Each structure stands twice: as C-alpha cells, then as structure tokens.
Amino acid sequence: MVCLGNICRSPMADGILRKKIQDRGLDMKVDSAGTAAYHVGEAPDRRMRRTGIDNNVPIDDLRARQFVVQDFDRFDVIFAMDKSNYNNILSLARDEDDVQKVKMMLNESNPGQNLEVPDPYYGGDEGFQNVYNMLDIAVDAFLERVNG
Ligand code: 4NP
C-alpha cells in the first residue's frame, strides 16, 4: 500500500487489509510505504489513528518508511492511492514485470476508473472517515477477487 507520506492513506489501507486477512485466516504479507521521505519513522497521523480506533482497526504501531525499488521483489501487487503515487512508483520500475505489479487501489472497487483516494492531510476530520470507507470497500473487493 503506497501513498505520499505513509502517514494517512497507506497505513490505513495496510491496517484494513491486515485485519481482514487475520479475520479470514488468510496468509498474505502486507506492508505500506510512502513515495516521499518527509515522515520516515513517524507513527500515522493522529487523525488517521483516531479513525482507525473508531473503526476497530488500530494502526498506532505502524511507522512510516519510503518505498524502495526492492519492494518490487518483495511484493506481488503494489497499490497506489492516487495517480501521482502511481506515476512515482512506475518511475522506479526496472522492467515490465515491475510495471505490471502497480495498480490503483480504487480500481478494485471501481474497475477501470482510475479513481483516487483523496489526500486527507490538509482537510477536515470527515476526510479521514471518507478515506476509511473507500479503503474498506476496495480492500473487500480485492480479497474477493483474489480469494473468492
Ligand atoms: P498520505 O498524506 O500521503 O496519505 O500519508 C500526506 C501526509 C503528509 C503530507 C502529504 C500527504 N505532507 O506533505 O507532509
């Protein structure tokens, strides 16, 4: 799960997917990262942590890191939250295999539309619940697609 800062959207997506995997007894490896390094080592944004707790998906223990080219080797699917993240990840791709791994997260719930998870960082508190709701639906659609 990849966004810009790895303190709002991608840690929430990471937490939601981890929780659903655990609840369903599945075996998948999940992690998140940011394309930028501004917040490396930080916990998720306080407002996103609050939203996680409110929705029973705590993400307080996650710490931000930057996306690295080795992530193409460690993961089968790389989800970008918006088009800017998508293009930044693609700029690091080494070959066609890497390119094929990169997907827009909301294309799981809204195929082919290339919709973006809006960056809630500079907005109001309602933006965080909105992000949660979008990710919850998209992650369900992803698990349905890959696990039935
Ligand atoms: P995120 O949100 O990409 O969802 O983690 C942001 C967090 C921090 C900044 C931008 C977006 N920032 O500019 O510091």
Locate the domains of the chain by residue range: 2-147
* Packed helices 46-54 and 9-23: angle between N→C axes, nearest 10 degrees: 30
Q: pTM for this structure? A: 0.97
Q: In what order do the strands lie in the sheet with 78-80?
A: 33-34, 2-3, 78-80, 102-104
- Give me the amino acid identity at 79: F
Q: How confident is the model at residue 123 (pLDDT cuts 50, 70, 90)?
A: confident
pLDDT greater than 90 at residue 116:
yes
Is the CB of 7 within 6 Å of ligand 1? yes
Question: Mean pLDDT over residues 73-88, rounded?
Answer: 98
Distance of CA 4 from the midpoint of ligand 1 (Å)? 5
Is the CB of 65 within 6 Å of ligand 1? no
| CA angle in degrees (0–180, nearest 5) for 7-86-41 | 25
> Is 119 annotated in the active site?
yes
Helix (H, G, I), strand (E, B) or coil at 46: helix
Is the CB of 135 within 6 Å of ligand 1? no
Domain 2-147 sits in CATH at 3.40.50.2300
* Nearest C-alpha neighbor of 69 from the set 118, 35, 37: 35
Catalytic residue among 31, 71, 119, 136: 119
